[in-house]
Structure 1
């Protein structure tokens, strides 16, 4: 079998058999790692299933890999290279890990899973797949960003390119989906559902904000579902390709087009909302006025509460629409803002509306200053605080709010945490959608978090929300350190 394998390999090579020969142009970035990797690697032509190149580690292990390679080729011929391929014999189990493919060729790494079993006995919390990622220097040299998440899209591992694309470091297990902008979020979730149902791979486009460069990066992304190695490995691998330079319009025209699309989108939403958010209260007011015309004084006094409620709903909706328009058309005005003073004023303001006295903890230095647009930041924090008050848990002994701030060299992180009713899992994917109301307790118009994130984009920031149902919610606001108008 060994001689047969050698014969097949040599026969299928169109150039002298050597691991040091020049690689194809699309694979040239991997040449050094390919030749020096501690795991067996090979390049295969996916159409003919011919092995084009192998590295030294492959040669050293060819006796063990003969049967496995035949099994791999059969699977590729039958299903292609879009599914997990494992091979197992007596006391021997390997995983064929596709690292890169281009022009009908694929770069494949062979991982010895039994080897990982032995190495990970001392650290059982690290699974096989992550062990291979952490040991693999190749993935940090690939020009594409690669991030591995769990089923909840929380980051578990990412390569150096991800940090370059975003221009910043991330906290442990950050929510990857909240860190990107997807224009058609509904279509994205439909694709994810298909991926969960058995589709091997999906693609989508998105935009990310590079914090260090204060610019937008246009991304073509591919998502592959990872499973069947171990339960703890289940999740998704996102491969991000920067296609900013491939856009044929100038940067200014691109920004104008994006702004125009956003305005058109907001206009469509506005027209839709008129019938659902204004017509209802107006109809109620008309009905109340007709009742008042035929009622006595006592009944009129009882109806005043309903009049005030409908007027408050109308006024709140008009204010929210005004904030959308103001954010789109008003120039960003940066100034130094004392964060602690601003937060204290807003807590007092919201408390006066709801007439409650929460236990407030402020972990903000007295002289903490942020250079930002104070009007926009005020709207954002006010929205979040209103949510904390509105969705408090009346069954708990005390209503608590904590506001803290930290920073690194790239951004300020403002965290607002409450011990309210939390957010159910099924609601989380939709909380940033315009006009979405995720609970029967909501008496607003579903624009708070949508407005907050849109306003944050205008001043170069972003946000995400983490929550545990019935226990707590934390809104995280990221503002760039070096903000420029």
Structure 2
């Protein structure tokens, strides 16, 4: 049984040992560490508590910790899962330190401690100090770990690393790869302070850094632990770095935060939407009910005069229902991209809006009659109609005539449609809110506050965006950006 365990151990190690002379030397160092190490060690079967193998120091010093060993065996039976435990014998304190475990077997190191030492701290330091040396007895296990591990010399040049370490960088790592040169540490002075402390005091230090993964072309966020090696055993002096990839946790946390913010925004807009829908429908309906009551007691001449107000309220109600329908359509209907003549779409919307207001404005077109874009004609029409209605509704009555300029330009990325009017403009205090749902920026507004909000939402579906510029009492310019390649 002992021979089989040793054979498996050796075969696993040989499978992962490089033909490089230095790696062969490391293999001999690990073998030497167990057989002729400074501390007593033994291999035990965790199921039967049977000793499978012991080293020379265990045989020589067996009498010094014999009673403590008996207590340790009882401890295994009680807890089964091996942890570092300490026992006293003849005024001495012994720490039974588990440094390797595989397939129901464990390698235990017996350390003699000075009485009254903080054994928890010492255990942590010793476990870290020997982590790499002992675990490399089975490189198969190390290559299956989710953490990256690298052993470097004093100049931080790699002597050995596991498969996870290699995958974190996303490229083939060259010989004598300098670990420090390949990472980004936010506070480099603090990092070197920790390394200096590590050299002076030993133990271990923790820090964070970023790796650029070449294969994924992405940043990998790492939490690392480092400790020095080689000063007690046969490994070349240097450092061990254990790297934990925290990118997924970080991205997950950020994504959850974004989703919560988005959900809060949706809930807020939904509450506002329901309230405003009720308000905007209730107003015209109440006016219609009042007008009908007046009509019931009025003569024919008065009824004819009230017809205008009836039509106005019905128009407002119909306009609001149409806007709500546009919102629903934009959300649930697929975008139908096709080549459309921009001049034709805009001229149709000009005729439609002018028919409502009957103002006959002076309109300047700077759009070639053959200019085409690839977009959804119905959605673009809704946007243009909204912007033109604002031009008509917020005209400056002090000026002789309403003037509207409509032009288009193009670069390699987008079409830019600009609609400029000489109306009343937008005040600075109102500008930040003009795209909010149901917002009305002036007492002149007779709409429902859905126009610009809905237009920008539609533009998102088209892959575009919108910007409004204005100089109060002088002009307003709406700029629509539509992508060239869709």
When normalised by structure 2's length, the TM-score is 0.48
Q: Which structure has the larger Rg?
A: 2
